[in-house]
Structure 1
Amino acid sequence: MRALPLLLGLFRAQALAPGDKAPLLEAQDSYGRPVNLRGSYVVLWFYPKAKSPGCTAQAKRYSELYPEFQRLGARVYGVSHDPAREQCDFVEKLALRGGMIPDPQGRLARAYGVRSFFGFYSRDTFLLSPEGRIERIWRGVNPFKDADTVLAYLKELREKGR
């Protein structure tokens, strides 16, 4: 019976909270370019699988709103367990704007406490502040509303002068 709690602990999310220092790990986008998670607002939206229906809808909406995110000084990255080549195909097939970060070893997912089950990440979104802190966390997001929710929150921050 003791093995079950240990096994379930593998799938439990790490406790990060707004105000915590963000795990600013070195990362590369799907094209091999370095990604800097510092110096501006950064949206990291974790998703289960490239080219699946919900993930496609979520990616397309972030892409549609990308100019607004840019105008507000934010960079946007989708993160999944998918290898870089699969993410590149996803980006090119849908002409997506913004970046994708492949995380096949689950390094970013573990650092951010994103649940993973057989390589499929939970839908969690993080807004990082320019100072490298967790500004806001959304867990278990709706893929059809996520980008709009994050953009509305970012607009509120900017209106407050942040």
Structure 2
Amino acid sequence: MHPVVLLLWGFLRARALAPGDKAPLLQAQDSYGRPVDLRGTWAVLWFYPKAHSPGCTFQAKRYSELYEEFRRLGVQVYGVSHDPASEQCAFLERLALQGGMIPDRDGRLARAYGVRSLFGFYSRDTVLIHPEGRIERVWRGVNPLKDADTVLAYLKGRLR
């Protein structure tokens, strides 16, 4: 089979997670090399295609603006992309973003959460993990202009 066909087939066949499924809580490090532990806490993983691109910049800025509200609710928030850690650090620092980033260079997290990838650009998906270690909600193909607000509104309704 032609390599491009195999690549596209892999992009289209990403496993879909559903609410109630066990969350793949894989060990990871944030872009600064600190361990990320999602066990026993609410966690948002927002997957994005590319640091510094317009949609990703807006999405990252909005999560940063709402970061303290997420934190007050006891929610960890991480952006995840295929970008190297150095690029994510530059993204965080250039925009003075709050929150964390996880570099997923080997695609392990994207595959585990059913996020499609084409040439290293992830689909724009957001996963909410319940403190009991299960998937609470998955949003696929999110609008970068509304994603953070949508997730925060869901959490406020769910936790109050």
- Residue 8 (structure 1) shift: 4.0
- Residue 153 (structure 1) shift: 0.2
Please tell me whether the aligned partners of residues 126 and 140 of structure 2 are also in contact (alpha carbons under 8 angstroms). Answer: yes
Residue type at the aligned position of 1:9: W
Which residue in 2 is equivalent to 1:81? 82
Which structure 2 residue ranges, 5 or more long, are not aligned?
none
Residue type at the aligned position of 1:65: L
Q: Secondary structure at the match of 1:30?
A: coil
- Going from structure 1 to structure 2, the CA distance change for 1:7 and 1:149 (only over 3 Å counts) comes to same
2:98 is aligned with 1:97:
yes
Q: Count matched residues.
A: 159
Identity of aligned residues (%): 78
Which residue in 2 is equivalent to 1:68? 69
- Residue 73 (structure 1) shift: 0.7
Instruction: Find runs of 4+ consecutive structure 1 residues off by over 2 angstroms.
Output: 3-9
**TM-score relative to the length of structure 1:** 0.94
Which structure 1 residue ranges, 5 or more long, are not aligned?
none
Which residue in 1 is equivalent to 2:10? 10
Q: 1:58-105 deviations in whole A, cap 9, x for unaligned? A: 000000000000011101000000000000000000000010000011
Q: 1:2-52 deviations in whole A, cap 9, x for unaligned? A: x99865431122121000000000000000000001111000000000000
**TM-score relative to the length of structure 2:** 0.95
Note the aligned Cα RMSD (angstroms). Answer: 1.7
